[in-house]
Each structure stands twice: as C-alpha cells, then as structure tokens.
Structure 1
Amino acid sequence: MIPSSLIPAIHNIAVAPIWLETFLIITFAIHLVLMNIAVGGTVIVAWHSFSGGSKVSRELSGKLPTILALVINAGVPPLLFVKAIYAQFNYTSSVLMAVYWLAAIVALLVGYYGLYWHYYRYESLKDVGRKGLILTVLCTLLYVGFMLSNNMTLMLRPDHWAEYFDNPHGFILNLNDAALLPRYLHFMVASLAVGGLFVAVLGKMKSDQDYIETGFKWFVRATVLNTAVGLAFMMSLPRDLMLMFMGKDMLATSLFGVGIVGAAALIYAGMKRKVVTASIITVVMVYVMVIMRHMLRQAYLEPYFKPEDLIVTNQYSSLYLFLISLVIGIIAITYMLKLMCKSGRS
C-alpha cells in the first residue's frame, strides 16, 4: 500500500504558516522547560524519599503541583499549533493510538492529584505510603511522556499507519521505530538536568549552599549522560535525516554544532556552580533543540507534505485574538503566582 494514500486531504489555515510555526517553537520551548522541571523534580523527590528524605525534597514537593499545573496550561498552545499545521497527521496518529492517548489524560490527573496528596499529607503518611505515592506519581508522568513521544513520532510515519487494518481498535504504538526510545530518553534525561538546575536556582534565591550542591550534582551528571543519549538518538535516525545534521543542511548542521558546544558549556557552568550562567545557557539550548526538532519533523514529512502547501485564507483576526488572550493569560498567571508567593504557599 502507498503510504500517501492513507493521509487525509490537506486543509485550510487562517494565517501564513510561518506565524504558526514561530509560535509553535516559542510556546513549546516554554512548555518543555516547565515539563522538565516537573518530571525532573519528581524524580529528585522520589530519589531522596527512598534514601531517607531531605529538606530539599520536602520543599520541592510543595512546588511541584503548581509547576505541573503550569505544564498542563503551557502545553495547550503548542499542541493546538501542531494540530493547526499538521492536522491530517496528528489527528490520525491520535486516533490510531486512541486508547493509550486517552489513558494519558487519566494518568495526568492521577499524577496531578498525587503530587498534592504527597505534599499535604507528607507528615501523616507512613514512610512506605509516601514512597509508594511518589513512585506512582512518577510512573504516571513517565507514561504521559512516553505516549506523547509515541504520538509525535507516529504522526511522522504514514508508512506505519497501515497497521490499522490489522489493529483498528486504538491500540497502535510506534514501537517499531528505532528512534522512539532514544528520543524519549533524550527528553527524560534532560528533565533530570533541568530539575536539578531548578533546585540550584532555589538555592541561589535562598542563599542555601546545600540546595545548590544538590541541584548541580543532578544537573552535571544528567547533562553528561544526555550528551551520550542525544548522540544515540541522532544515530538512530534514518540515514538521510541523520546526515542533514552532519553537513547535508548547513543550518541543521550549525545548530547541531551549537548543541555540542552548548552541552560542554553547561557541564562547565555546572561544575563551577554558576547558577545564572547555567540557567541562561539552558534556555538558549532548549530553543536550539526545539528548532532542531521542528526541522526534523519537516524532514520526516517532506515526502508527503510541506506547510507551504496549505491554503491560507488570510483571516488574521484569530491570530490577534490569540495574542490578546496570551497577554491577558500571562498577566493573570503572573499575578496569581505573585499572590501565592506572598501567602507563603510556594
């Protein structure tokens, strides 16, 4: 069967694709940073819980529910932009893995509630209960991340969609893709680094050297490990896509070079315990990686689709409404976080 015959018809979009792609990159990077803090922070809390607990894990557990709420809200815009540009691909992949995809919502709710329960019942829970609860939360978050990786890679592989005719009940995953596991691990190991950096930032704000030391131990070790995982992910890509980052495409190759240099700079900043420097480089690196990810998605889909093929209706009122809502939302969230910090509940 010809894979292109399985792709739904092309659709119209209201504004030029460049606008949607730009906001997709900007909003996804924000979501990614918050997601890394939430997942990495949960791993750190779980690790310290199983090794006897610490003041770091106790305070960090109180911040995770708020961070996860921000993760969920910040994840809506990039998901909508993906669906706006790649609707015929992303909706199809979501249907193919519908059972697992819908279960991710349940898992996310369980994890969200579990973080609150873990914090507010921290003292009353027995040691075994506390460990079991945080482990359950961690498993739910890891599940959600794995399903996201499945969905975002399955949409890139129309050649795998024919499996639907043998499995039409929403139980299809992209497990036969060699790049799936390295890609997933690349995101998850990165969360350990960013989670550690978040602890170090808290230490900088509190002038607490224990926080800084603990955070940077996670940050440096995870960054070293993730450099190797990232190279493994690169090598798992189809040959023509891998070569795109190794000289075939100058922009992609330059970004890959920036990534290598940036990883070395992050390790150096972490070893020197430079909180501000490490934070700035991390934000830059996140955007570099998100742009590379976007270029890789375009390269995967190039045989079937290009955003420039979309029919633009030039109805920019929807974009203006989004921008107005975004500004109002940022102001409202900032104000609420400010009130929460004043109340001493953060």
Structure 2
Amino acid sequence: MIPSSLIPAIHNIAVSPIWLETFLIITFAIHLMLMNIAVGGTVIVAWHSLSGGSNISRDLSGKLPTILALVINAGVPPLLFVKAIYAQFNYTSSVLMAVYWLAAIIALLVGYYGLYWHYYRYESLKDGGRKGLIFMVLCILLYVGFMFSNNMTLMLRPDHWIEYFDNPHGFILNLNDAAFFPRYLHFMVASLAVGGLFVAVLGKMKSDQDYIETGFKWFVRATVLNITVGLAFMISLPRDLMLMFMGKNMIATSLFGVAIVGSVCLIYLGIKHKVVLASIITVVLVYVMVIMRHLLRDAYLAPYFKHEDLINTSQYSSLYLFLISIVIGLIAIIYMLKLMYKSGRS
C-alpha cells in the first residue's frame, strides 16, 4: 500500500502559515521550559527523598504543583497550532494510539493531584509514603512525556500507519522508529539540566549557596550527558535528515553549531555558578532547539506535505481573538502568581 493514500485530504487555515508556525515555536518553547522544570524538579525531589529529604526538596515540592499547572495550560496553544498546521497528520496519529493518548490525560490529572498531596501531607506522610508518592508522580510524568513523544513522531511516519489494518483498536506506538528512544531521552535528560538550573535560580533569589551548588551539580552533569544523547539522536536519524544538520541545509547546520557551542558554554557557566547568564543562554538554546525540531518535522513530512499546500482563507479575526485572549490570560496568570507569592505559598 502507498503510505500517501492513508493521509487525509488537505484542510483550510484561517491565516498565513507563517503566523501559525511563529506562534507554535514561541508557545512550544515556553511549554518545554516549564515541562523541563516540572520533570527535572520531580526527579530532584525524588532523589533527595532517598536520603530522607532536604530543605531543597521540601521547598521544591511546594512549587511543583503550580509549575505543573502552568505546564498544562502552556501546552494547550502549541498543541492547537500543531493541529492547525498538521491536522491530517496529528489527528491521525492521535487516533492510531488513542488508548494510550487518552490514558495520558487521566494519568496527568492523577500526577497533578499527587504533587499536591505530596506537598500538603509532606510532614504527616511517613518516609516510605513520601517516597512512594513522589516516585509514582515521576513515573506518571515520564509516561506522559513518552506518549507525547510517540504521538509527535508517529505523525511524521505515514509509512507506519499501515499497522492500523492489523491493530485497529488504538494501541499503535512508534517504537520501531530508530530515532524514537534517543529523541525521548534527549528531552528527559534536558529536564534534569533545566530542573537543576531552576534550583540554582531559587538559590540566587534566596542568596542560598547550598541551592546554587546543588542546582548546578544537576545542571552541569545533565548537560554533559545530554550532548552525548543529542549526538546519538542525530546519528539515529535517517541519513538525508541527519545531513541536513551537517551542511546540506545552512540554516539547520548553523543552528546545530550554535547548539553545540552554547551547550559547552553552559557547562562552563555551570561550573562557575553564573546563574543569570546560564539562565539567559538556556532560554536562547531552548528556542534554537525548538526551531531545529520544527525544521526536522517539516523535513520528515516533505514527501507528503508542504506549508504552501494549505488553503488560506484570510480570516484574521480568529488570530486577533487569540492574541487578545493570550494577553488577558497572561495578565490573569501573573496576577494570580503575585497573589500566591504575597500569601507565602510560592
């Protein structure tokens, strides 16, 4: 069977694709940074729980529920933009893995409640209970990330969709893709680095050297490891896509060079405990990585889809409504965080 025959028909979009791509990159980078803090922070709390906990893990556990709430809310816009641009691919992959995909939503709600339970029952829970609860939440977050990675890679492989005829019940995963596991590990190891950096930022705000030293230990070690994992991910890509980052496409190659140099700089800044500069470069590198990811996705789909194929109906009122909603939403979130900080619950 020809894979392209399984792809649903092209759809209409309300505005020029460049707007959707731009907002996809901006919003996904924000979601990714918050997700990294949530996952990395949970790993740090779980690790500290093995030795009975610490002031850092106690403090961090109180921030994780709020961070996870922000992760969930910040994840909605990029997911909608993905569906707006790549509807015929992403909706299909969601249906093919429907059982796992819907289970991820339920699991995320359980994990969210688990973080609240862990924080508010921190003192009353027995040591074994705290450990069991935080590790359960960690497993849930890893599962959710695993399923998101499956969905976002399965949509890129229409040649794998023919599995539906042997497995039509929503249990298809993208595990036979050589690049899947390195890609997933690349995201998860990055979470350890960003989670550590978040602890260091907290230390900077508190003028607490213990926070800074602990945070940068996680940050430096995870960054070193992630360079290796990232290179493994690059090598696992199909040859023509890998070469795109090695001279075949100058934009992609330049971004890859920036990512390598930036990662080395981050290791140096982490060793020197430069919190502010490390934070700024990390944000820049996250955006570089997100753009590289976007280029890679388009390269995967190039045999089946081009953005110029989308039918633009030029109905910009929906874009204006989105921008207004974003502004109002940001103001509301900042106001609520400010109230929470004043109440002493941050």
Fold shared per TM-score above 0.5: yes
**SS of 1:53 mapped into structure 2:** coil
In the TM superposition, residue 308 of structure 1 has moved relative to its aligned partner by 1.1
State how 1:134-149 maps to structure 2 within 5 Å: 134-149=134-149
Name 2:159's counterpart in structure 1. Answer: 159
Distance 2:44 2:17 in 1: 39
Task: Give distance in 2, aligned partners of 1:88 and 1:278.
Answer: 39
Partner SS for 1:303: coil
Deviation at 1:22, TM superposition (A): 0.2
Letter in 1 for 2:207: S
Instruction: Tell me the residue number matched to 2:310.
Output: 310
Contact 2:52 2:127 in 1 (8 A): no
Unaligned runs of 5+ in 1: none
Letter matched to residue 95 of structure 1: V
CA drift at 1:43: 0.2
Structure 2: which amino acid aligns with 1:225? L
Structure 1 residue 324 displacement after superposition: 0.2
Task: Report the Cα distance in structure 1 between the residues aligned to 2:236 and 2:52, rounded to whole angstroms.
Answer: 39
Letter in 1 for 2:113: Y
CA distance in 2 between counterparts of 1:308 and 1:70 reads 33
What are the equivalent positions in structure 2 for 1:231-270 lying under 5 Å apart?
Answer: 231-270=231-270
Partner of 1:97: 97
- Determine the structure 2 residue equivalent to 1:170: 170
For the residue of structure 1 that corresponds to 2:103, the secondary structure is helix
Q: Distance in 1 between matches of 2:80 and 2:200?
A: 33
1:167 alignment partner AA? N
Q: Superposed, which structure 2 residues align to 1:39-58 within 5 Å?
A: 39-58=39-58
For residues 286-339 of structure 1, give each alpha carbon's deviation from its aligned partner in whole angstroms, at most 9, with x where no partner exists.
000000000000000000001111000000000000000000000000000000
The alpha carbon displacement at 1:52 in A equals: 2.0
* Counterpart residue type for residue 339 of structure 1: L
Q: Distance in 1 between matches of 2:89 and 2:65?
A: 32
Q: Distance in 1 between matches of 2:109 and 2:336?
A: 22
Equivalent position of 2:208 in the other structure: 208
Residue 21 of structure 1: aligned partner: 21
CA distance in 1, matches of 2:82, 2:298: 12
Q: Secondary structure at the match of 2:230?
A: helix
Counterpart of 2:261, as a letter, is V
Q: Distance in 1 between matches of 2:308 and 2:71?
A: 30
Deviations 1:47-97 (A, max 9, x none): 000122110000000000000000000000000000000000000000000
The separation in 2 between residues aligned to 1:228 and 1:52, in whole angstroms, is 32
Structure 2 equivalent of residue 9 of structure 1:
9
Q: C-alpha separation between the residues in 1 aligned to 2:191 and 2:100?
A: 23
Letter in 1 for 2:324: I
Measured after TM superposition, the shift of residue 222 of structure 1 is 0.2
Q: Aligned to 2:108, what secondary structure does the other structure show? A: helix
- The TM-score with structure 1 as length reference comes to 1.00
- C-alpha distance in structure 1 between counterparts of 2:162 and 2:302, whole Å: 19
Residues 175-190 of structure 1: pairs in structure 2 closer than 5 A: 175-190=175-190
Q: Which residue of 2 aligns with 1:290?
A: 290
Task: Compute the TM-score of the two structures, normalised by the length of structure 2.
Answer: 1.00
CA contact (8 A) 2:17 2:85 kept: yes
Could you say what secondary structure the match of 2:71 adopts? helix
Distance 1:248 1:301 in 2: 17
Q: Distance in 2 between matches of 1:119 and 1:71?
A: 18
Q: How many residues are matched?
A: 346
Match for 2:259: what amino acid? G
Q: Distance in 2 between matches of 1:50 and 1:136?
A: 14
3-state SS of 1:47 partner: helix
Matched, 1:82 2:82: yes
Q: Distance in 1 between matches of 2:88 and 2:44?
A: 39
Give per-residue Cα distances to partners, 1:165-209, cap 9 Å, x unaligned: 000000000000000000000000000000000000000000000
Quote the Cα distance in structure 2 between the aligned partners of 1:184 and 1:116.
Answer: 27
Contact 2:15 2:313 in 1 (8 A): yes
Q: Structure 2: how far apart are the matches of 1:230 and 1:277?
A: 23
Matches of 1:145 and 1:131, distance apart in 2: 21
Distance 1:210 1:106 in 2: 37
**What is the aligned-residue identity percentage?**
89
Contact 2:17/2:307 (8 A) holds in 1: yes
2: distance between equivalents of 1:297 and 1:260? 20
User: 1:236-261: per-residue Cα shift (whole Å, max 9, x none)?
Assistant: 00000000000000000000000000
1:128 aligns with 2:128: yes
